[in-house]
Amino acid sequence: MARIGNLYGPDATFLGVPAVDPDDVERWRQSAAVIIGAPFDGGTSHRAGCRFGPQALRTTDYLPHDGLRPSLALGVDPLADLAVVDLGDVEMPSGETELSLRRLEDRVSAVARENVIPMVLGGDHTIALPDVTGVANHLGFGRVSVIHFDAHADTGESQMGSLYGHGTPMRRLIESGACRGDRFLQIGLRGYWPEPATLDWMAAQGMRTFEMGEIVSRGLDDVLDEAMTIALDDCDAVFLSVDIDVVDPGAAPGTGTPEPGGLSSRELLDAVRRIAMSVPLAGVDVVEVAPPYDHADITAYLGNRVVLEALGGVAWRRSKERGESPRDPSDPLLRR
């Protein structure tokens, strides 16, 4: 089930792109990427409110919503070049978690079957489970690697007695076989969780985590080199999952479980752009933007631009594959 526009608040689409009924497959299958709203925060363990994230991510901008968004760095206009459309919000009642997740998985699976990239606007990180599973339903279990930006591992065995919550989706994905533990890359972890037993489980799965201390010591560029090399080894595509709390809460206060000491907003945008330029993306989600805790829409603006940078990187990569010559950004993070 889906609604064209926002489930919570006035109808709107991502930066004014066309709204298309999810059942009108002939219309949206012509797009290279589509927007899907996942307004669910029934899996939060601290501050709720990210059910309003899709609305904020769609509408927080200062330019006219005329569909024109040329990238100064890349020389592409991702919304136009990829013919992006918005399929609206999946109806996800927070009191019925399994129903909500099933509905989202069905929508993502339908999009992936048409070889269109789902760009999912969360919502809390519980939605990574149906997002990645939906893509794996099409490409094959174990054939999709995951690059996961987050302050938290989200690999808990359970959360408040439940198998489903924003602290557990990565464990569920690996247990189900949707993705392999040794092709699961986590960037930006820090703080005081998870506990040793969960860390031991992660190590047993072959997961690779890049904590903030390692990123500071090595540099983000080297970390991305290693992460993408692993992600592309014996996998067909990459799912990119971005929890906005990977960014220091001084630059992204509007989130449910803030953890000091994270990436800068510039570092996250550069990283997302480079990954999208460098690897075949099968799907993207941007999660945990919680407008009730935001100040001057700082976090919503950042989340909006994370989506645009991912789309811009995809458009740039496809332009190169067609033999065109998009702009060389002359940036060491984007070297070819």
pLDDT for position 335: 45
pLDDT (0 to 100) of residue 336 = 40
Alpha helix ranges (H) inside 34-182: 53-59, 78-81, 97-113, 128-139, 169-176
Q: What is the pLDDT of residue 238?
A: 98
How far apart CA 165 and CA 43 sit, in angstroms, is 4
- Number of structural domains in the chain: 1
Question: What was the pLDDT predicted at 221?
Answer: 97
Report the candidate in 38, 151, 120 with the shortest Cα–Cα distance to residue 306.
Answer: 120
Q: Which amino acid is at 17?
A: V
The CA distance from 108 to 295, in Å, is 31
Cα 54 to the center of its chain, rounded Å: 12
Residue type, 148: H
- Residue 314: what are its φ and ψ, rounded to 5°? -65, -45
Smallest CA-to-CA distance from 60 within 326, 335, 291 is with: 291
3-class SS of residue 317: helix
**Cα angle for residues 101, 106, 110 (degrees, 5° grid):** 150
CB-CB neighbours of 146 under 10 Å:
29
**CB 4 within 8 Å of CB 12:** no
Residue 140 has what pLDDT? 98
> Order of strands across the sheet with 117-122?
2-3, 85-90, 33-38, 117-122, 281-287, 237-243, 144-149, 184-189, 208-211
Residue recorded with tokens 């939060």: 44
CATH number for the domain spanning 155: value is: 3.40.800.10
Q: Where are the beta strands (DSSP E) in the chain?
A: 2-3, 33-38, 85-90, 117-122, 144-149, 184-189, 208-211, 237-243, 281-287
pLDDT value at position 164? Answer: 86
Asked whether the beta carbons of 149 and 187 are under 8 A apart, the reply is: yes
pTM, 2 dp: 0.95
Q: What is the pLDDT of residue 330?
A: 62
Residue given tokens 């950042």 in the structure block: 302
Look at residue 325 in the predicted model and tell me its pLDDT: 78
Compute how many other C-beta atoms are within 10 angstroms of the C-beta atom of residue 152: 25
User: In this structure, which amino acid lies at residue 222?
Assistant: D
pLDDT given for residue 6 in this prediction: 74
Alpha carbon distance 86, 196 (integer Å): 42
Instruction: Provide the residue range defining the domain that includes 206.
Output: 2-334
Q: How far apart are CA 314 and CA 93, in angstroms?
A: 32
Nearest to 88 by CA among 132, 47, 36: 36
CB atoms within 10 A of CB 100: 26
3-class secondary structure, 20: coil
How far, in Å, are 57, 240, 247, 248, 269 from residue 266 at the CA level? 18, 17, 9, 11, 5
pLDDT in tens, the chain (336 residues): 455 567 888 889 999 999 999 999 999 999 999 999 999 998 898 899 999 999 999 999 888 877 788 999 999 999 999 999 999 999 999 889 999 999 999 999 999 999 999 999 999 999 999 999 999 999 999 999 999 999 999 999 878 888 788 889 999 999 999 999 999 999 999 999 999 999 999 999 999 999 999 999 999 999 999 999 999 999 999 999 999 999 999 999 999 999 999 999 999 999 999 999 999 999 999 999 999 999 999 999 999 999 999 999 999 999 999 988 788 776 555 444
pLDDT recorded at residue 210: 98
